[in-house]
Amino acid sequence: MAKEMKITSLDDFKTPVRKGINEVYVKSILNKHKKRDSWFLLDYSINPYLGCSFNCLYCYIRGSHYGGDTTHKLQVKANAAEILKKQLKRRAKNGEYGLIGIASATEPYPEIEKELKLTRELLQIIARFKFPVSILTRSTLVLRDMDILKKINENAILPPDLKFKLRGGAIISFSFSTPDEKLAKIFEPNAPKPKERLETMKKFKDHGFRTGVCFMPVLPFLSDSEKQIEKMIVLAKNYGSDSILTAGLTLFGDKPTDCKTVYYKTLEKHFPELLEKTKKLFGQNFYPNPKYQRKLTERANAICKKYEIKNRIV
Ligand code: SF4
């Protein structure tokens, strides 16, 4: 994950122009990665929003930094479009083309995007400067922007080493922690249903996009069995995913609003029998023990091989 840019001082916060919307003004919106990341192939990332309305209970953006309910802390980078124009103009002039991840740290399509259309505006700018993009979302709203994404897919200039590996300039990926609707309702209360995400992905596939499933975070003892992973991989394949990336859960912090605390409370309420063994799996760490992680990767890789679906984007 790319680091979220810093709001440089309290002066960068201005009075919200629209009631109920927290607007922040930023000095930079395009994060250049030091090195292209090997999972998502990103050279740049953009996060139009801070916080998220989907309120997934395992989400690391809740907690010490953001507060307990991610919905209430949602902030909009109000001058993002103006800044992006300047930054992309300069990068394009220097021929510094690379895949831009939207969004690497939060959701690019929170509920407010329906009204604000900020992500859409940023995509229009990206299309104008012919940069390629990789969208990662849990939302079906991405469908609204298919017109712009088609332009990007057809016209974007890819970096030379990716030119022959990627078919087009737009990759559309969807995140899942489980394909199970009931489980998703508990852990991702405000996000569109897994089935809706799969159907949206299929539409992009049918329009010639490279698509992907990010099965992350896999929930320990809830969505990590061979049967559950197989179900996710088979669904991904059936709904036209070109690849599936799998990763375990990370849990941070021990304050009341931190995601580790919130996750454990959720287990206590819905799956009390899993609480102690989950705590043991994490110990004092923010990730499950290495043996578990290795097994999870091996299991997912073996199932991907069985169903002939790539476990990396290219
Ligand atoms: S959709 Fe992503 S950013 Fe939003 S709450 Fe869920 S995990 Fe966090």
Does residue 313 form part of some domain?
no
Q: Which of 26-35, 71-80, 267-276, 300-309 has the lowest mean pLDDT?
A: 71-80
> H helices within 156-225, ranges in order?
181-187, 194-206
Average pLDDT of the residues in 92-99: 97
Q: Residue 276 belongs to a domain with what CATH number?
A: 3.20.20.70
Asked if residue 136 lies in contact with residue 99, where contact means CB atoms within 8 angstroms, the answer is no
Q: Which domain holds residue 234?
A: 20-306
Give the separation between CA 97 and CA 142, rounded to whole angstroms.
23
Average per-residue pLDDT for the chain: 91
Within 13 A of 295's CA, how many CA atoms are on the CB side? 10
Number of domains in the chain: 1
Does residue 205 form part of some domain?
yes
Judged against a pLDDT cut of 70, whether residue 66 lies above it is answered with no
pLDDT at position 277 is: 98
Give the separation between CA 310 and CA 304, rounded to whole angstroms.
6
Average pLDDT of the residues in 52-67: 81
Judged against a pLDDT cut of 50, whether residue 17 lies above it is answered with no
Give the tens place of pLDDT for each residue, 165-206: 998 999 999 999 999 999 999 999 999 999 999 999 999 999
pLDDT at position 62 is: 73
Does residue 172 form part of some domain?
yes
Which atom from ligand 1 is nearest to the alpha carbon of 103? 3
Give me ligand 1 centre to Cα 187, in Å: 10
Q: Is the CB of 184 under 6 A from ligand 1?
A: no
Read off the pTM. 0.92
Give the tens place of pLDDT for each residue, 247-298: 999 999 888 889 999 999 999 999 999 999 999 999 999 999 999 999 999 9
Of the candidates 194, 245, 246, 260, the one whose C-alpha atom is nearest the C-alpha of residue 218 is 246
Q: Is the CB of 61 under 6 A from ligand 1?
A: yes
Rounded to a whole number of angstroms, the CA Rg of the chain reads: 19
Residue % of the chain over a pLDDT of 70: 90
Most informative mutation of 45, 61, 137, 263 for ligand 1 (most atoms within 8 A of CB):
61
Q: Is the CB of 62 under 6 A from ligand 1?
A: no
Q: At what angle do helices 118-128 and 80-93 cross, to 10 degrees?
A: 20
pLDDT at position 195 is: 98
- In this structure, the chain runs to a length of 314
Does residue 112 form part of some domain?
yes
Does residue 14 form part of some domain?
no
If one counts every other C-beta atom within 10 angstroms of the C-beta of residue 111, the result is 16
Does residue 12 form part of some domain?
no
Give the separation between CA 223 and CA 226, rounded to whole angstroms.
9
Judged against a pLDDT cut of 80, whether residue 9 lies above it is answered with no
Q: What phi, psi does 30 have (nearest 5°)?
A: -95, 110
Asked if residue 110 lies in contact with residue 52, where contact means CB atoms within 8 angstroms, the answer is yes
pLDDT at position 13 is: 36
Does residue 46 form part of some domain?
yes
Does residue 299 form part of some domain?
yes
